Amino acid sequence: MSTPTLLRLGRRSKPLGLAHLLISLLIILLLAGCAGDGLRGSSMTISDCLEPTRANSADIRRNLSRIQAAGLCYRQQQVREGRFRWTFHILEHQQHPQGPFWILPHDNEDTAFDVAVQAVIDYGGGLLAVDSGGQRNFLGQDPNRNFSRSHAESRRCPGQREPAPGYSQAVLDHYRGRRGPVLALHNNHNGWSGNGGAGTISMARESATLRAYPGARLNGNPGIQASRSNTSSRNASRVSSTGTSGSTSGSGSGSGSGSGSGSGSTKGNRRLGDEDNLIFVVGRAPLSADPALKRRVAALNAAGLNVMHKQLNSSNFDCSLSDYVARHRLGEYYNIEAEHGDRQTQQQMIDRLLAVLGIERLSAQRPGSPFLQH
């Protein structure tokens, strides 16, 4: 933003008086404020690797032994923008930093953080967790309703207090030069208000722009239970159009390594069919008009994963990470939603999603894996 030239008041032969000088400075400030979008500046700092015991984070302390045993790099990022002083906790795999990178916006979703740590250990890459003192919001702002570039964009979102281009860039800069999609992890509560539950996202909660695509019924996965869903009959033909209805093979999930609770096989996890466990994706067009995303949803369904698709339009942009990525065409985005406390299921969802994307565990690395090339 250029600074206007100082206006000359009065005759050149006379020095500016104090009143004239103050008026000139006021005009400069007003003109500067009118230039561009008038956004406040932001600053960002990021540390080198630190001893994780220095982290003021219950999440880090809870996972400290695993973090240290795997030799993960812990870094701290500070973002200052307007009245907000954000802290991001970052973990990275030092031998394979280019693997999948996970965003965890909500500091009260402990299960998501725990499985993200395991994902970094298993697949490389890293994670970024927003610090809100263990709460969902930070100073009244939901970190996942804080993605915007301008006042005009921010005004579309009732959940954003002020524009946050610095915050948005600080988060998404972690994907620069990184191959693969934007990945997020969230936890939710059981059900939603429409069926007596306490959550806000569910396969049973559809709308004009939200469509549910249940995962195929595989061994141990009964699919969306009719008693908990008001969409099962309506979904049948729509899911069939993606080529996944009733499929029992071609999951694309592979056999997995079977380590811990994160097996990628199709065996034995009935919770995959629960309405609260789903992959959330966003597109700018109906799924039927988006061939690439339609194929991806079909593959995820065939792997036994529920998918919820949001069609983004001019009236439903909410400054979430998912909407921001779609609005600005920043690439693929997948959010793994699982019920609070259901670590086994969320870990298995990670394994199946990454298998569909062609990303293997470090223990099964092959030269062709896109995240294992240096």
pLDDT score at 180: 87
pLDDT score at 222: 62
Q: What is the mean pLDDT of residues 335-350?
A: 96
Cβ 248 vs Cβ 263: under 8 Å: no
Please say if the pLDDT value at position 255 is more than 50: no
Give the closest residue to 257 by CA, choosing from 141, 355, 328: 355
pLDDT score at 366: 62
Q: What is the mean pLDDT of residues 333-362?
A: 96
With pLDDT > 70 as the criterion, what percentage of the chain qualifies?
71
Q: What is the mean pLDDT of residues 131-143?
A: 96
**Tens digits of per-residue pLDDT, 113-128?**
999 999 999 999 999 9
Please say if the pLDDT value at position 241 is more than 70: no
**Tens digits of per-residue pLDDT, 27-84?**
444 433 443 454 567 899 999 999 999 999 999 999 999 999 999 999 999 999 999 9
Give the closest residue to 59 by CA, choosing from 136, 133, 146: 133
**In this structure, which amino acid lies at residue 163?**
P
List, in order, residues 6 or more apart from 367 with CB less than 8 Å away.
373
Cα 88–Cα 94–Cα 97 angle in degrees, nearest 5? 70
CB atoms within 10 A of CB 305: 31
β strands within the chain, DSSP E: 42-46, 73-81, 84-92, 101-104, 126-130, 182-188, 210-213, 278-283, 307-311, 333-339
CB atoms within 10 A of CB 248: 12
CB atoms within 10 A of CB 179: 12
Q: Confidence band (pLDDT; 50, 70, 90) for 247?
A: very low
With pLDDT > 90 as the criterion, what percentage of the chain qualifies?
64
**Tens digits of per-residue pLDDT, 272-285?**
988 899 999 999 99
List, in order, residues 6 or more apart from 354 with CB less than 8 Å away.
100, 123, 264, 360
Cβ 326 vs Cβ 333: under 8 Å: yes
Please say if the pLDDT value at position 167 is more than 70: yes
Question: Kind and range of the H or E element at 68?
Answer: helix 64-70
Give the closest residue to 78 by CA, choosing from 54, 53, 106, 43: 43
Q: Which residue has the higher pLDDT, 64 or 5?
A: 64
How many Å apart are CA 183 and CA 104, to the nearest integer? 9
65-69, 124-128, 177-181, 358-362: least confident range: 177-181
What is the average pLDDT value for the chain, to the nearest integer? 81
Return left, alpha or beta for 80; rule: phi > 0 is left, psi -120 to 50 is alpha, else beta: beta
How many Å apart are CA 62 and CA 134, to the nearest integer? 13
pLDDT score at 371: 55
Tokens read off for 177: 């030069």
Cβ 284 vs Cβ 367: under 8 Å: no
**Tens digits of per-residue pLDDT, 283-312?**
999 999 999 999 999 999 999 999 999 999
Crossing angle, helix 291-302 and helix 343-356, to 10 degrees?
130
Please say if the pLDDT value at position 318 is more than 60: yes
Please say if the pLDDT value at position 267 is more than 70: no
Cβ 301 vs Cβ 205: under 8 Å: no
Can you spell out the DSSP letters for 2-67?
PPPPPPP-S-TTSPPPHHHHHHHHHHHHHHHHHSTT-PPPEEEEE---B-GGG---HHHHHTHHHH
CB atoms within 10 A of CB 35: 11
Count of residues in the chain: 374
- In sign, the C-alpha dihedral spanning 176, 159, 209, 225 is positive
The domain limits of the chain are 1-36, 181-356
